[in-house]
Chains A and B, each alone.
Chain A
């Protein structure tokens, strides 16, 4: 689902820039998420919505909701209204398989989507945009298909239920009802509009131009006749990172014209790179030291955290004990706020560290424990994913128990 960064789009450092190709803060500071919400016109995911989720699902909301990682939405309240009335929805998320190396930042939307599937007991479609990567990253068709299958294994390892999940790659699945919807969508978007939204120019090949409908139509249930026959009004909820918002604005614009419900969105902030100060840097799959990979050993994780994680601690122990750590820029605390489940423990760490009683080393040690545990569990689950299992997830088959 990620679109390639385009460096030609000039970034004006006096304003923050957030779009599928570029993420940068104003004057090298922090991303202002409130401003972003205003700019994009989406809504904040406030306490009352989170409480509602807790009530409707009878379980504690996911750590990403509690900590404000998923913080914005479009029409999530309408989805909840419908759910309360007994009208279900389905989930749609995806990945652009450009590399075999998956890092923790990649897993976040999948971890959250898995929670949504379990909590709301709804089905899920996962799109692997191998065609997109073939076009943008200039991979061969075979290579992008291979990467798609490899990434599917890591995705499955996140714990999706095969009786409620359909994974598909564009090269395999595009055609039939899916393609019919693609053409319908394409007819609604002029070339000028596409160039405006996606920054295409006369130099780009026509493959790129024709791609956006591919990512749009999984939002429409009629694209999956084997899953949702006769359920044309079924709503769709899309968990994604906020830089994908422009993509889905186009889809939401087109939907009513085709007689479909607008897909709802639930959006996350960025997962910072290890070395990033503030929230300037996104993790980059091309710099192995900016991220923790699911293939990292316990030793690698420990090294990376110790050597590269940007610390908000003070230069000397005396100074640290006196004024405490700068929690705003401290990466280990940020990471813990994503992955440490226990709210009380996180609060304790923030208090002790922020007031200088806890040192950076201890925080890093705890983080290393948490991440190592996660990566270990992921590795075990990944090892259990067989080729047969991938085939099963990707088979075009009905899911009779999808709402149970």
Chain B
């Protein structure tokens, strides 16, 4: 993890002119504005984005610049809906920052080497711009020359783009995606956070999650644990839905057949099947049975006595 103080150390080493402001932790630009006045510089909004091929982008813009995600997606050559906000775990895994803390400076981390950084051209017209230096209880203002020097020192090009270009059509035969060159050449796989109810391991990482706008995973559900993704919900249908149950069994059986079936005699294959699948399928069946019983049991507690 890159401690934010390293940012200031780099500033000093490179003799970059900057001002530092300390304040209580802030998670939104509005909050930040309460503590850092606009006379110090132009506040920025910073988005951490991801495309469908697991490539990541930081877009840093003036707060009043309109960032149209559809347009941006097309200009990157990703089609209309190709880009969306990156999930929280990517924030910590790749940028080593918490919610509310996205900043161009995050690219100082090795883990962010494949993250593309796109800066608002309008920053260049400002005397100074304001960013978080990896921590949301500090803000720093500096001009774009200083920002460029910083980025250069860590081997990065400064990429300034006009975010408000809105040609019509955005992308077409005579108008290739003009930002496609900034799509990272490498994708990054960020492991999905497992289902956790209140496990000790999540405590420190997700503290900031409580304060911001609700993140999808925080919705409590009456059934099963919290934090289930849509993918897991549909996976659990296997315990409730006969068709899914049968599908799961056939999927696993055919997968084993395809991987082990070449050249084996039929008897040996049948033995292999029994050996490898019995325990797993029994477990599946027991959970199926338990689910059915529990649903019946619950129905029993709710049922009205028979009318005399």
| Residue positions of A touching B, CB distance < 8 A | 100-101, 118, 150, 153, 156, 159-163, 288, 295, 297-299, 341, 377, 379-389, 391-393, 395
Contact B283 A159 (CB under 8 A): yes
Q: How far, in Å, is A321 (CB) from chain B's closest CB?
A: 32
**In the assembled complex, which residues on chain B have CB atoms less than 8 Å from the CB atom of A388?**
223, 294-295, 297-298
Tell me, yes or no, whether B201 is within 8 Å of chain A by CB: yes
Identify A101's interface contact among B200, B222, B286, B298, CB under 8 A.
B200
Are the C-beta atoms of B195 and A385 separated by less than 8 Å?
no
Q: Are A389 and B199 in contact (CB under 8 A)?
A: no
Interface size class of B (residues with CB under 8 A): 20 to 34
Interface centre among A150, A388, A391, A393 (most CB of B within 10 A): A388
Of B196, B224, B282, B290, which one neighbours A118 at CB under 8 angstroms? B282
Q: Is the CB of A163 within 8 A of B289?
A: yes
Q: A295-B201, A299-B191 are in contact. Are A383 and B286 (CB under 8 A)?
A: no
Within the complex, which residue of A150, A380, A392, A393 is in contact with B197, where a contact is CB–CB below 8 Å?
A150
Q: Is the CB of B293 within 8 A of A392?
A: yes
Shortest CB distance A391–B (Å) = 7
With beta carbons under 8 angstroms apart, the residue of B193, B201, B228, B290 that contacts A162 is B290
Pick from B199, B239, B279: contact of A384, CB under 8 Å: B239
Which of chain A's residues has its CB closest to B279's CB?
Answer: A341
Question: How many Å lie between the Cα of A159 and that of B289 in the bound state?
Answer: 10
Q: How far is the CA of A388 from the CA of B236 in the complex (A)?
A: 15
Q: Is there an interface contact between B191 and A162, defined as CB atoms closer than 8 Å?
A: no
B residues in contact (CB < 8 Å) with A: 191, 193-201, 222-225, 228, 232, 235-236, 239, 279-280, 282-283, 286-287, 289-291, 293-295, 297-298
Instruction: Select which of A379, A383, A384, A392 is within 8 A of B298 by beta carbon.
Output: A392
Q: Specify the main secondary structure of chain B where it touches its partner.
A: helix
Least CB separation from B199: chain A residue: A295
In the bound complex, CA of A96 to CA of B3 (Å):
41
Asked whether, in the complex, the Cβ of A392 is within 8 Å of the Cβ of B297, the reply is yes
Name, among A288, A295, A377, A391, the residue most crowded by chain B CB atoms within 10 Å (CB to CB): A295
**Max chain B C-beta neighbours (<10 A), residue from A159, A341, A386, A392:** A386
Q: Which residues of chain B are near A153, meaning CB under 8 Å?
A: 225
Complex Cα gap A379–B193 (Å): 12
Contact B286 A161 (CB under 8 A): yes
Chain A residues with Cβ below 8 Å from B232 are 383
Shortest Cβ distance from A100 into chain B, in angstroms? 7
The 10 closest A-B pairs by CB, nearest first: A389-B294, A392-B297, A392-B294, A386-B223, A388-B298, A162-B290, A295-B199, A159-B283, A384-B239, A388-B294
State in angstroms the CA–CA spacing of A341 and B228 once bound together.
31
CB contacts (< 8 Å) of B191 on chain A: these are: 297-299
Q: Bound complex: CA of A384 vs CA of B201, how far in Å?
A: 21
| A387 near B194: Cβ-Cβ < 8 Å | no
Q: A159-B283, A384-B239 are in contact. Are A391 and B199 (CB under 8 A)?
A: no
Contact A383 B290 (CB under 8 A): no
**Cα distance, A204 to B272, chains bound together (Å):** 57
**In the bound complex, how far is the Cα of B287 from the Cα of A153, in angstroms?**
12
B293 touches A383 (CB 8 A): no
For A391, list chain B residues within 8 Å (CB): 294, 297-298
| 13 intermolecular pairs with C-beta atoms under 8 Å apart | A100-B198, A159-B283, A159-B286, A160-B290, A288-B200, A298-B191, A379-B195, A387-B223, A388-B297, A389-B290, A389-B291, A392-B293, A392-B294
- How close is A371's CB to chain B, nearest CB, in angstroms? 14
A389→B193 CA distance, assembly (Å): 25
Contact partners of A163 in chain B: CB under 8 A = 289, 293
